[in-house]
Amino acid sequence: MSLKDEKIKEAIRHAAAEFLERESNRTALITVTDVSLKARGRVAVILFTVLPAEGEREALAFLKRQRSALRGYIAKRVRMQRLPLIDCAVDVGEKNRQRIDELSQHSP
């Protein structure tokens, strides 16, 4: 991945985190963990985790409903020639990492 792509990912991640801080109802802690660029940068998938984990479904539904507003917020904050379409998904890799950490702390 090029340096330009890395900078774009980080800028989108930061703007998405700011948006969630302002717009979420705070019943669950939603953390943006990563951004994945797909289709040659035409689609940005925002990966996130939720605490408590029971709030994942509601958080995903919230983010899916707010995609348009989130894209507008990112457009105001990130200077790009072409802003990618925005999608959201639960960061399964981060959930697995956390589970491995949890299991390794309990093992003898």
pLDDT at 107 exceeding the cut of 70 = no
pLDDT band at residue 108 under the 50/70/90 scheme? low
DSSP code at position 84: P
User: CA geometry: angle at 78 spanning 84 and 61, to 5°?
Assistant: 55
Q: Look at the block and give the residue holding tokens 């507003």.
A: 69
pLDDT at 87 exceeding the cut of 80 = yes
Q: What is the pLDDT of residues 7-38, one digit of tens each?
A: 999 999 999 999 999 998 888 899 999 999 99
Q: What is the pLDDT of residues 46-76, one digit of tens each?
A: 999 998 889 999 999 999 999 999 999 999 9
Whole-model pTM: value is 0.85
Give the SS3 label for residue 50. strand
- Confidence at residue 47, expressed as pLDDT on a 0 to 100 scale: 96
pLDDT at 41 exceeding the cut of 90 = no
Q: Largest Cα–Cα distance of the chain, in whole Å?
A: 53
- Provide CATH code, domain 3-106: 3.30.300.20
